[in-house]
Amino acid sequence: MLKSYETLRTAIAASHVLLVTLNRPEVANALNTQMGRDLLDLWTSLIAEPGDLRCVVLTGSGDRAFCAGGDLKERNGMTQEQWVAQHEIFERQYWALLDCPLPVIAALNGHAYAGGLEMALACDFAYAVKTARFALTEVTLGIMPGAGGTQLLPRAVGERRAKEIILTGKPFGAQEALEWGILNKLCEADTLMPEVLATATTIAANAPISVRQAKKSMVYGMQMDLRTAFRFEIEAYNRMVGTEDRQEGIRAFNEKRKPQFRGR
């Protein structure tokens, strides 16, 4: 049973695939306190009880923006205590997204600025429309990226490129984002969701324990020295040896048929 949220739409878009849509189009899907709470609840629920879901697609409503970042109208006049309390909610939802065991694909239907770009960077990978633009504009507003931007962007584009993007706050286009490693693919507006859902469906058809363990190995292994990461990889690998899905995969290969994975 899918939960109902004030600022999000959720729907089963394909077999085992959850589509999550940021739903504040009147303000370019800007992140306000309620959206932070909704996203925190969503990601925490998927961590604890994913059920039969195997992949998530995250997009924005409308055709203008994926997410414009923090809602500056809501923040206007906030006290320091109110700002810090709100940002704590934001931080926790970003970290919960990073901790989600299911692959999360960003389908960037439009511009992604500031916290919106940080949200895209926190996903496992991203497709975008060709007209999308991107920026981390925080230094132009008297703050700095505070939801992973100073850490995730250098890992995607390299340190020197990230310094230029963050310290200037200047926007850049989708083609540059593709060339620099922020995006995996550019799409026409009318093909974005079909292409993302095709990829999500391919992932969801694979053995779910294998997919989750492989994601975990990459995410945590990248934070280790190489030798330790090799050992972590083998521990993750060994988790699959005794599974029904591993046996089904071998049987299906030898019987020349498509495997039917059950996540066991």
Dist CA 169 CA 113 (whole Å): 10
d(CA 87, CA 216): 27
Question: Model confidence over 123-147: pLDDT tens digits?
Answer: 999 999 999 999 999 999 999 999 9
- Which of the following is catalytic: 6, 88, 138, 248? 138
Tokens linked to 228: 């330790």
Statement: the pTM of the whole predicted model exceeds 0.85: yes
Picking from 123, 100, 104, the residue whose alpha carbon sits closest to that of residue 50 is 100
pLDDT digit of tens for each residue in the chain (264 aa)?
Answer: 688 999 999 999 999 999 999 999 999 999 999 999 999 999 999 999 999 999 999 999 999 999 999 998 988 988 999 999 999 999 999 999 999 999 999 999 999 999 999 999 999 999 999 999 999 999 999 999 999 999 999 999 999 999 999 999 999 999 999 999 999 999 999 999 999 999 999 999 999 999 999 999 999 999 999 999 999 999 999 988 999 888 888 898 898 888 888 888
Domain ranges of the chain: 8-204, 206-254
So what's the pLDDT on residue 255? 86
Class of domain 206-254: mainly alpha
What are the two backbone dihedrals, phi and then psi, of residue 161, each rounded to the nearest 5 degrees? -65, -40
Encode pLDDT of 203-225 as tens digits: 999 999 999 999 999 999 999 99
Measured CA to CA, the distance from residue 185 to residue 192 in angstroms comes to: 9
Biggest distance spanned by C-alpha atoms of the chain: 66
Catalytic residue of the set 26, 81, 118, 176: 118
Note if 26 is an active site residue.
no
Q: Looking at domain 8-204, what is its CATH homologous superfamily?
A: 2-enoyl-CoA Hydratase; Chain A, domain 1 (3.90.226.10)
Tens digits of per-residue pLDDT, 173-193? 999 999 999 999 999 999 999
pLDDT at 1 (0 to 100): 62
Q: Say whether 244 is catalytic.
A: no
